[in-house]
Homo-oligomer: A and B are copies of this chain.
């Protein structure tokens, strides 16, 4: 591996410039901005490394880039995505979201942490391997989609259509990084997701609010409807919502006890006085990894500018995500939500559906997990902390669990301060180079696992 690390060092400036060019290109799936151009960057990058590349596209979807290279007894699937979250609120960025800027060893840009950094460092690691070790000792199939941040809306259908491209001995997930206390991590699962927008309709146009005596106000309708979804004690009050939850296994709970706690780091970073219900330590971690959520991600109605404006809004909108755990079914959650709203007298409230994903879990003792553990130990000088699942979501169910493919995270730049999905998203460049070295070790470890 000395040659491998030396190659990274020798090419650091070029790799850095390539990363900057990649994040400078917007690719905002929710807003349909820059998707084709970004897919093309990924495609040509894979081709330049000698991969066989297919640009695959379901009707209405942005392209999935599928690239294969190397051969050997094992096949590794690498899942990443080239789309990013919307950059709003723009005014909260210290430097513009699509002008990558280095400050104090951190590179700031929308998508640099989620997921363009990891995607690029893995491509660059393969380049470094080929340049220093010759052929790859295994088959690598890159599956790189462009709709992850909108719930991978077409990926389930894609995985059915192209099932033969997905079969593999293990999958490297898009994520990878460190705990808030700086220990490297491995995650072997992901929560599911059901994202909806609730819309309450009122008068034909925003009225003078003097008419509030007699005209039903959609902002009040929405408030009252939301209030029935989750009570102030945090209980999600939709009938049946909790019915299908598979409780954590003994192995899950044992893994939990080996995870170092980081309550103080989180409280300080987020500047909050306490967690919900004053949860702490293991209890908090258990809820965090194994409980579903119902979150208001956005609210908008009427006048939202400076000062006062006296209007009765024509519409009111709430964006809501439900994070799901095994064995919850996102389609069933939508049905339960509709039935609940109807039953509570809110049949007038429209539900618009966005992404839906099932939760997924992998065997935490699978060869791909053991190989990543060994690679982490070589690259970081310490064993990883193993999480049975992320609290976050991805299309791990259709990509991995549906095929029985074990999955691991790792070889990524995550750390507590990334601010993914938020303004001033960033990575630490030292993490970038360490993750690239880890990726090299992982190729070697998984080939022989």
Interface residue ranges, A against B (CB under 8 Å): 29-31, 85-86, 88-89, 92, 149-151, 191, 193, 195, 197, 202-217, 219-220, 222-224, 226-227, 230, 232, 266, 269-272, 275-276, 279, 284, 287-288, 291, 293-313, 316-317, 319, 321, 323, 345, 354-355, 390-393, 419-424
Contact = CB atoms under 8 A, between A and B. Distances in A.
Contacts of A297: 209, 219, 302-303, 308-313
A86 B306 CA distance: 9
Given A210-B323, A211-B391, 8 more contacts: A205-B270, A205-B422, A206-B423, A220-B295, A299-B316, A300-B301, A300-B304, A308-B319
A268 to B, nearest CB: 10
B31 A307 contact: yes
Contact of A224 (B222, B232, B271, B299): B232
28 contacts: A30-B307, A31-B305, A86-B306, A150-B308, A191-B210, A193-B310, A197-B308, A202-B272, A203-B270, A205-B423, A206-B423, A207-B422, A209-B323, A210-B390, A210-B391, A211-B288, A212-B293, A212-B295, A213-B293, A215-B270, A296-B301, A298-B302, A299-B316, A302-B319, A304-B304, A308-B354, A310-B321, A311-B421
A309 B210 contact: no
A227 to B, nearest CB: 4
The 5 closest A-B pairs by CB, nearest first: A30-B307, A219-B296, A300-B304, A204-B271, A298-B302
A381 B423 CA distance: 63
A345 B232 CA distance: 10
Given A215-B272, A217-B296, A86 B208 contact: no
A20 to B, nearest CB: 23
A272 B207 CA distance: 12
A166 B355 CA distance: 62
Contacts of A296: 217, 219-220, 223, 301-302, 313, 316
A299 B198 CA distance: 14
A320 to B, nearest CB: 10
